[in-house]
Amino acid sequence: MRTSLLAACLLLLAGCNNTPKYQGDVVMGGFDFHATLERDTCADAGGFFDFTGVLSYDTNTQKLFLDTDGVTDDDHVGTLSGTHFVLLGEADRGFECGPVHVKETIEGDLYTVVSDDGGCGAVPDAGTADDGGSEPSVDVHNFQPLLACGQILDGAEPLDAGAPAGSDGGCFSCEIVYQLAGTRQ
């Protein structure tokens, strides 16, 4: 009895799939991103930060997704036009001045070549879709981007509308801009 119970447990564990599930039907790849501060009117950002993420695409809805934590209900969602992408996300965050609601736009281009410096310094213009629309002019099933270059724009709005703004301790509307470089894992 004990042996059959152990065998049943092992079969259950063997059947478990720990592979992450990403939105869409095409996984475009995992990227290591580095964001460098360009402008900060919030006085709350650091000089840089790093993160990893997976880009995936849904050919039926023509939506692009960026998953940074393996949980799909908080993915950045957007469009891919040619090799140009725009991803949107939003969340409540705690800034030093208090709680804020951040709307984030990640925008840039995907490249299949790497510049001489290995980053986004001297890559060619990526272009847009042939018809100017949102349908990719690249075959997303065979597209293997090596670089993602662009920027992150965070717009922050105070959550507590009744709190005093600015110098006397409350939050005020502000924005943070980072230059973004991502290399394929």
Non-local (6+) Cβ contacts of 28 within 8 A are: 54, 55, 56, 57, 110, 140, 143, 144, 145
Give CA angle at 133 (153, 33), nearest 5°.
35
How many other CB atoms sit within 10 Å of the CB of residue 70? 9
Residue 61: pLDDT band (50, 70, 90) is very high
Q: Report CA 1 to chain centroid distance, whole Å.
A: 50
Indicate the pTM of the whole model: 0.78
CA proximity to 160, closest of 90, 91, 101, 96: 101
pLDDT digits (tens, 9 = 90+) for 149-168: 999 999 999 887 665 555 55
SS3 at position 88: strand
- Residue 98: the pLDDT is 83
Average pLDDT of every residue of the chain: 80
Residue 140: pLDDT band (50, 70, 90) is confident
Instruction: Give the separation between CA 58 and CA 16, rounded to whole angstroms.
Output: 25
Instruction: Give the separation between CA 84 and CA 14, rounded to whole angstroms.
Output: 41
pLDDT digits (tens, 9 = 90+) for 92-117: 988 888 889 999 999 999 988 766 66
Instruction: Give the separation between CA 176 and CA 148, rounded to whole angstroms.
Output: 19
Distances (CA, A) of 28 to 25, 67, 138, 147, 184: 10, 12, 12, 11, 10
**β-pair partners for 107:** 86, 151
- Residue 129: the pLDDT is 40
SS3 at position 12: helix
Q: What percent of the chain has pLDDT over 70?
A: 71
Res. 86: pLDDT tops 80: yes
Q: 101 or 169: which carries more pLDDT confidence?
A: 101
Instruction: Give the separation between CA 56 and CA 12, rounded to whole angstroms.
Output: 29
